[in-house]
Amino acid sequence: MEVGAVAAMRYVKDGIKAAKLVMEHTQHTLLVGEKASVFAISMGLPGPTNLSSAESFEKWAKWKQNDCQPNFRKNVFPANGCGPYHLSQAASPVLEGTCGYIRGEDVYGKWSGASSFSGVLEKNSNLIGRHNHDTISMAVIDKMGHIAVGTSTNGATFKVPGRVGDGPIAGSSAYADDEVGACGATGDGDIMMRFLPCYQVVESMRQGMEPKHAAANAISRIARKYPDFVGAVFALNRKGIHAGACHGWTFQYSIRNSSMVDVEVVTVVP
């Protein structure tokens, strides 16, 4: 039940070490943005460092040339451009009857309604897939039976600046309890974080579910509401029994214990 996390941190390469520093040297759980970078550097991590690469700059340049398409914005104007963005006239039922005007980059208006939803929801983006994000989640059980889990990611490609996904959210991308086990997750974090799937996995195992059933249950809860989402979880109980579940893609994870010469890759199908 010790937690440390950082989000929206720039100029420091090793986010997982920064998160560990938050856990071990502060009474906080989550530090964000510029001050998270300042904290990490003040605690001895290298920086500030230019984290851009020739490959990432080329990808960004091509994206700009393509009018910043695709991106994660919705109900904005211009829909097919690089901005500055303003509210679309057809933005949302919430904005029906709104009186407002736009001047430069400022938006003025008055909220005048409410919206609700139920049943199956559409996925908010088609930008999440196995080839365009770099989440790594790892769980470890030591000789004493202590369990640790961590997740690190650069986030979704072409995300809106300032976006925080599920990576630093306890219970979403990772969760662990020495008495029960651990879980790690990857995929469409903007959807998955709404369900805290790793918390759900660990709590299901606490109630007696085997890892394979706990993982499948957590994924199915998301799929019932968002049938087009892409994501996966792995579950590991305190005895070392493990399993995975996925939706929208074929998922692989690796395991190794003290009796194994090399890692074993486990393939999980939807």
Amino acid 112 reads S
The pLDDT tens digits for 22-46 are 999 999 999 999 999 999 999 999 9
Instruction: Give the pLDDT band of residue 93 (cuts 50, 70, 90).
Output: low
Average pLDDT, the chain: 86
Measured distance CA(73)–CA(75) in Å, rounded: 7
Instruction: Give the pLDDT band of residue 133 (cuts 50, 70, 90).
Output: low
Token digits for 127?
A: 């930008």
> Is the separation of the CB atoms in 151 and 183 below 8 Å?
no
Instruction: Give the pLDDT band of residue 127 (cuts 50, 70, 90).
Output: low
Q: How far is CA 87 from CA 92, 96, 242, in A?
A: 9, 12, 46
The pLDDT tens digits for 152-181 are 998 888 999 999 999 999 999 999 999 999
Neighbours of 157 (CB within 10 A): 19
Q: Which residues are catalytic?
A: 135
The secondary structure of the chain, three-state, reads CCCCEEECCCCCCCHHHHHHHHHHHCCCCEEEHHHHHHHHHHCCCCCCCCCCCHHHHHHHHHHHHCCCCCCCCCCEECCCCCCCCEECCCCCHHHCCCCCEEECCEEECCCCCCCCCCCCCCCCCCCCCCCCCCCEEEEEECCCCCEEEEEECCCCCCCCCCCCCCCCCECCCEEEECCCEEEEEEECHHHHCCCCHHHHHHHHHHCCCCHHHHHHHHHHHHHHHCCCCCEEEEEEECCCCEEEEEECCCEEEEECCCCCCCCEEEEECC
| pLDDT over 70 (residue 94) | no
Give me the mean pLDDT over the 194-214 stretch.
98
Measured distance CA(119)–CA(249) in Å, rounded: 23
Amino acid 184 reads G
Give me the mean pLDDT over the 73-91 stretch.
87
Residue 91: its pLDDT value, please?
A: 53
What proportion of the chain, given as a percentage, has pLDDT over 90?
A: 79
Measured distance CA(29)–CA(38) in Å, rounded: 16
| pLDDT over 70 (residue 146) | yes
Instruction: Give the pLDDT band of residue 97 (cuts 50, 70, 90).
Output: very low
| pLDDT over 90 (residue 224) | yes
Q: Using the structure block, give the residue that is written with the tokens 């005048």.
A: 112
Give me the mean pLDDT over the 224-229 stretch.
96
Measured distance CA(166)–CA(79) in Å, rounded: 26
Give me the mean pLDDT over the 239-247 stretch.
97
Residue 121, CB-side half-sphere exposure with 13 Å CA sphere: 14
Measured distance CA(211)–CA(213) in Å, rounded: 5
What proportion of the chain, given as a percentage, has pLDDT over 70?
A: 84
Look up the CATH architecture of domain 136-268. Answer: 4-Layer Sandwich (3.60)
Sign of the dihedral through C-alpha 235, 240, 241, 242: positive
- ∠ Cα 61 167 177 (to 5°): 165
Query: Which residue ranges make up each domain of the chain?
Result: 5-42, 55-108, 136-268
Q: Residue count of the chain, please give it.
A: 270
| pLDDT over 60 (residue 118) | no
